[in-house]
Amino acid sequence: MKATLNILFFLSFFGASAVMTGCADPNTVIDQNTAIDNHNWSYTNKIREDVQINDASIPYNIDLNLRVTGDYRYSNIYILLHRNGPGLKADTRFEVKLANPDGQWLGTGSGNLYSFQVPLITGFKFPAKGTYHFEIEQNMRDNPLHEVSDVGLRVEKAK
């Protein structure tokens, strides 16, 4: 009986792993989020991600992943995106709209949490193969910026 349970456990674990691996998007290079401590995003808390680019001949899309609570005070957020790597050093400021003028959130909601995946740069061609370092920094007047739950980066091959 114990051997049968062990085999069933192994098979279910193996099956779940196979399903999860099979569902991964092959065009995604990175899709990472970082939780913000106490939902208070400080200027000094830059979200850092390293991205390995193996094919510089194709274009990529770079998206911001963001989650805020329903108590977030603003309808937008300003961020600075720092990019550094082989043949690239760039800093860009983006304004990201989070809500309509009537207060309706533009992201998807679950409970008191709203998620956004916002295109920042589409069709970007990296200058060369290699590792690129990204930093995302909040650029609002409030420091810390309250009610920001998670911040992240998604880089995918453009379709």
4 occurs within a structural domain: no
130 occurs within a structural domain: yes
14 occurs within a structural domain: no
22 occurs within a structural domain: no
147 occurs within a structural domain: yes
Residue 86 domain boundaries: 28-157
Q: What is the CATH number of the domain that holds 95?
A: 2.60.120
Per-residue pLDDT of the chain in tens (159 residues, 90 and over written 9): 555 444 444 434 444 444 444 457 899 999 999 999 999 999 999 999 999 999 999 999 999 999 999 999 999 999 999 999 999 999 999 999 999 999 999 999 988 999 999 999 999 999 999 999 999 999 999 999 999 999 999 999 998
Whole-angstrom CA distances from 48 to 45, 81, 83, 101, 136 are 9, 10, 10, 32, 7
Is residue 154 within 8 Å of 31, Cβ to Cβ? yes
Is residue 153 within 8 Å of 48, Cβ to Cβ? no
Give the chain's domain count: 1
15 occurs within a structural domain: no
Residue 10 has what pLDDT? 41
18 occurs within a structural domain: no
12 occurs within a structural domain: no
